[in-house]
């Protein structure tokens, strides 16, 4: 249940409603909008009667949220959440690119890749140091050494960092080096890990599970949101279907759907979404058109020599060209957005 306070509600009126919520043994999350306060009741609200709160002074209305996720929902937080990654804003209407190799392979490689990423317009450097690999014999990542190289390469170019944390025991270590903590597709429903990263205060890049439904994905975000400190960035990276001509089936309808259901930003990952490098630019363009807040893309100075995911990585030339196209499309999207605002009379 959420309780929407009137714009005119006083602090005292809000406090007395919060006190009542706590009295009946529930927790509360407060969303202070520009215009009004919205209170989200956390816990089992089945026996709570709406009328009990509607009679309070300053209460506008109460809404039952039928979803099992609440803090993640649009109802609780009608305005878009803009995630601030140490000064880089995600979800504010701009299109943010995170680019880098699948794996950090060494200092030279990540530095060279960071140069390419930055020159093309990316503000955030990606790179795996802890790698979830299907085979235990495949390269598992440089771990802390990789984190150090990644941070150094990013700092030299004033870029931010996103990298994956695979295990609860590595959270402090990864958080020391990374601005965004990535939860990989294979961990989308690792609930203990989600709850633990949610306590760090770092933004969480939450990949969609390999066969994760939209509802499961939203509930996974709720595990992070309940911890109360970290905002979520959804990352659509394709799902497994019967189609095997591409690595995954890139579900672009997730972009407008997540935007409808949730206030958190969503970015696209056309690299894992397709698994084929020459399909990446057209699907990145489609991501912009679908309204994504950004993308994460794999690039490599020499994809043919990459230690992982070379087949879906862009080289410098294809990346540059794609980024120029994205810029053109993004300008067009901004015009479309202004038109929408105009027709909505805002």
Q: By CB under 5 A, is residue 293 in contact with Mn ion?
A: no
* Residues in CB range of 331: below 8 A, 6 or more apart: none
Q: CA–CA separation, 287 vs 222, rounded Å? A: 24
User: What minimum distance in Å lies between the beta carbon of 118 and Mn ion?
Assistant: 20
User: What minimum distance in Å lies between the beta carbon of 308 and Mn ion?
Assistant: 6
Q: By CB under 5 A, is residue 236 in contact with Mn ion?
A: no
Q: By CB under 6 A, is residue 247 in contact with ligand PEP?
A: no
Q: By CB under 6 A, is residue 128 in contact with ligand PEP?
A: yes
Could you tell me how many helices (H) and strands (E) the chain has, helices first?
11, 14
User: Which residues are paired to 182 by β-bridges?
Assistant: 164, 205
Q: Which residues of 31-51 are buried (b: 16+ CB within 10 A; e: fewer)?
A: beeeebbbbbbbeebeebeee
Cα–Cα–Cα angle for 129, 82, 256, nearest 5°?
A: 90
Q: CA–CA separation, 165 vs 94, rounded Å? A: 27
Q: Which stretch binds Mn ion (CB under 5 A): 75-83, 277-285, 302-310, 334-342?
A: 302-310
Of 73 and 178, nearer to ligand PEP (C-beta) is 178
**Which x/- pattern, by CB under 6 A, does the window 263-282 give for ligand PEP?**
---------x----------
Of 52 and 138, nearer to ligand PEP (C-beta) is 138
**Which x/- pattern, by CB under 6 A, does the window 319-338 give for ligand PEP?**
--------------------
- Of residues 177 through 216, those in contact with ligand PEP by CB under 6 A are 184-186, 207
Beta-strand ranges (E) seen in the chain are 2-5, 27-32, 37-42, 59-63, 83-85, 88-90, 96-100, 124-126, 160-164, 180-183, 204-207, 232-236, 266-268, 294-298
Binding-site member from 88, 90, 102, 129 for ligand PEP (CB under 6 A): 102
Binding-site member from 102, 117, 181, 268 for Mn ion (CB under 5 A): 102
DSSP state of 76: T
* Residues in CB range of 60: below 8 A, 6 or more apart: 4, 5, 6, 9, 36
Give the residue among 148, 100, 169, 124 at the shortest CA–CA distance from 308.
100
User: What minimum distance in Å lies between the beta carbon of 312 and ligand PEP?
Assistant: 10
Q: Which stretch binds Mn ion (CB under 5 A): 15-23, 57-65, 97-105, 156-164?
A: 97-105
Q: By CB under 5 A, is residue 309 in contact with Mn ion?
A: yes
Tell me which of Mn ion, ligand PEP, none is bound by residue 184, counting a contact when its beta carbon lies within the kind-specific cut-off of 5 to 8 angstroms.
Answer: ligand PEP
Q: By CB under 5 A, is residue 164 in contact with Mn ion?
A: no
Residue 26 tokens read as 């529930």
Contact residues for Mn ion (CB under 5 A)?
Answer: 102, 309
Contact residues for ligand PEP (CB under 6 A)?
Answer: 102, 128, 132, 184-186, 207, 237, 272
């Amino acid at each position: 249940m959420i309780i929407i306070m009137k714009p005119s509600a006083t602090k005292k009126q809000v406090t007395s409603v919060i006190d009542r919520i706590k009295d009946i043994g529930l927790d509360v999350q407060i969303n202070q909008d520009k215009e009004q306060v919205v209170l989200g009741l956390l816990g089992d609200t089945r026996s709570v009667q709406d009328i009990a709160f509607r009679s309070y002074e300053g209460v506008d209305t109460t809404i039952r949220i039928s979803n099992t996720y609440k803090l993640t929902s649009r109802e609780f937080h009608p305005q878009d959440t803009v995630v601030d990654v140490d000064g880089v804003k995600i979800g504010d209407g701009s299109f943010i690119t995170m680019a880098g190799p699948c794996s950090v392979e060494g200092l030279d490689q990540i530095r060279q890749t960071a140069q390419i990423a930055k020159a093309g317009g990316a503000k955030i450097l990606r790179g795996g140091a802890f790698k979830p690999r299907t085979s235990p014999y495949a390269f598992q990542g440089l771990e802390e050494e990789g984190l150090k190289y990644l941070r150094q390469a990013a700092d030299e170019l004033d870029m931010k960092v996103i990298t994956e944390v695979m295990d609860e025991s590595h959270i402090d270590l990864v958080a020391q080096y990374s601005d965004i903590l990535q939860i990989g597709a294979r961990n989308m429903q690792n609930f203990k890990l989600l709850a633990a990263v949610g306590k760090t205060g770092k933004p969480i890049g939450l990949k969609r599970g390999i066969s994760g439904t939209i509802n499961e994905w939203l509930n996974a975000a709720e595990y992070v949101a309940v911890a109360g400190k970290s905002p979520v960035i959804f990352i659509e990276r394709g799902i497994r279907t019967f189609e095997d001509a591409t690595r995954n089936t890139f579900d672009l309808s997730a972009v407008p759907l997540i935007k409808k259901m949730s206030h958190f930003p969503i970015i696209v990952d056309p690299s894992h979404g397709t698994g084929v490098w020459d399909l990446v630019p057209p699907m990145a363009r489609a991501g912009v058109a679908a309204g994504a807040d950004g993308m994460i893309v794999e690039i490599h100075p020499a994809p043919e020599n990459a230690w992982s995911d070379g087949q879906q990585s862009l080289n410098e030339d294809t990346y540059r060209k794609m980024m120029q196209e994205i810029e053109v499309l993004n300008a067009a999207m901004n015009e479309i957005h202004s038109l929408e605002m105009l027709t909505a009379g805002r």
